[in-house]
Each structure stands twice: as structure tokens, then as C-alpha cells.
Amino acid sequence: MKLIKQLLAFATVSFVLAAPVQAQNANEAPDALVKRISTEVLETAKNDKQIQAGDSKRVMDLVETKILPYVDFERMTQLAAGRYWREATPEQKRALSAEFRTLLIFTYSGALSQVKNQTVEFKPLRAAAGDTEVEVRSVVNQPRGEPVPLNYRVAKTGSGWKIYDINVLGAWLVETYKSTFSSEISKGGIDGLIKTLAARNKQLASKPLNTQPVK
């Protein structure tokens, strides 16, 4: 579980911190953008004494300011909910997106607090000119053990590139949550899923970041 949280952090943090310079690099490919800044981002996480010490506020502030604006939570929620999304009311959609967003905040924050000595190696981008959705492929090199494949999907929106799915150890995050969402909805409907996520978030809020599981 800790490894998965680390990989989620690498994928998210490495990509989204590129966003502030996108205006100056409008023609730069998503993978090139990520590769150029990932080393700096990882070094920052590894060398920040407060993050390494598990300072929850420090980590959460970083997530709030640098990650959230560049993750498409609504699309992730819609994909995870599948066909049930169409059956949800506008209020339920807002509530579900908000709870799922909070759950992922805890996931990213817990992962970021555990970054140590890993490095990321990016693969050549397989995309055609003008593509608005791409899959960026990479591997995470661990101090010990085999490199771990890590891919993530990003889409170009009106406000720039945004992440909407991550593949860790061969499993897409959205697909993983889709199974969980479907099970909860079958038992208690959309409202039941919202209540379950809210309870989970309350539980995570009471624990140190570095002890939190992925879901």
C-alpha cells in the first residue's frame, strides 16, 4: 500500500507542478514537461524537512495549492461512477465529486509525505500532433527492487493539461474505484456511496498522513 501511495504522488506531483510554466511552454509535449521538472519536484519533497517529518499542514498545503487545480476530479468521479452517474441528481453529483476529491487529497498527501530516494524515468510519448488526450508512461526506480511501471492519462482542457487517471502496478485508479463504487451503490444507492466516502474521509482525517491507505 505504501508503494502505491508513493507512485500516486510521483505521478500527480511530477505532472501538476509543471502547470505554472505552461503559459511559457504552450508547445511543449506533456511528457517533456513532466520530465523537465520531475527531478526538481522529487528533490524538493525529499529535502523538505517538514514534509519528511510528517508535517500534515505542510503537505496538505502543497497538495491544495499545487495539485488540486490540475486534477480533473469531476471527470474522475464520473468515470468511477460509470452508468450510475447519469442517474444521479445534480446535488448528488456535486456531493459525490466533493467526497471523492477529499479522499484523493488524503491519498496524494499521504504519498507525498513518504517520498524518499526514488527517481522517475519517462518513456517516449506515443501521440500524434493535435492529440488532446495522451498517456504518459514512466517507471519508478526504487533504491531496492525492480523498477515499477507507472502511467497516467492527461487531457488538454480550456485551462491546460489535467490528470484524470493513473495506472499503478498495471491497474488504473479509476477502474479500481469503479468496482468499489458499484458495490456501494448496489447496497445503498448514490446516497449510500456518498455516506460511505464521507465516513472514510472522517476516519482518514483522524490519522497521521503516513499511516493512511490508498482507499
Most confident of 150-159, 181-190, 202-211: 181-190
Write the pLDDT tens digit of every residue in 161-175. 777 888 877 888 898
pTM over 0.85: no
Looking at residue 188, what is its pLDDT? 95
Least confident of 52-61, 107-116, 156-165: 107-116
Most confident of 111-125, 141-155, 194-208: 194-208
Q: Please, what is the average pLDDT of the chain?
A: 76
Measure the CA–CA gap between 7 and 4, rounded to whole angstroms. 5
Cβ neighbors of 180 (< 8 A, separation 6 or more) are 215
Q: Which segments within the chain are labelled E, that is strand?
A: 119-122, 133-141, 148-157, 160-168, 171-172
Residue 72 gets which letter from DSSP?
-
Measure the CA–CA gap between 106 and 44, rounded to whole angstroms. 20
Write the pLDDT tens digit of every residue in 182-207. 999 999 999 999 999 999 999 988 87
Measure the CA–CA gap between 23 and 212, rounded to whole angstroms. 35
List the domain boundaries for the chain. Answer: 2-211
Looking at residue 22, what is its pLDDT? 44
The percent of residues in the chain predicted with pLDDT above 70, rounded, is 66
Measure the CA–CA gap between 201 and 107, rounded to whole angstroms. 10
Helix, strand, coil shares of the chain as percentages rounded to 5?
60, 15, 25
Kindly list the distances between the CA atom of residue 65 and the CA atoms of 17, 58, 71, 155, in Å, as whole numbers in the listed order.
10, 11, 12, 20
How many C-beta atoms surround the C-beta of residue 3 within 10 A?
17
Looking at residue 214, what is its pLDDT? 43
Looking at residue 206, what is its pLDDT? 83
Least confident of 22-31, 34-43, 186-195: 22-31
Q: Which of 55, 208, 44 is nearest to 115 (CA)?
A: 44
Cβ neighbors of 183 (< 8 A, separation 6 or more) are none
Q: Is the pLDDT of residue 13 over 50?
A: no
CATH superfamily for domain 2-211: Tgt2/MlaC (3.10.450.710)
Would you say 103 and 200 are in contact if contact means Cβ atoms under 8 Å apart?
yes
- Which residue type is seen at 213? P
> Residue 86, exposed/middle/buried by CB under 10 A (0-12, 13-18, 19+)?
exposed
Set of cell numbers at residue 183: 458495490
Q: Is the pLDDT of residue 72 over 50?
A: yes
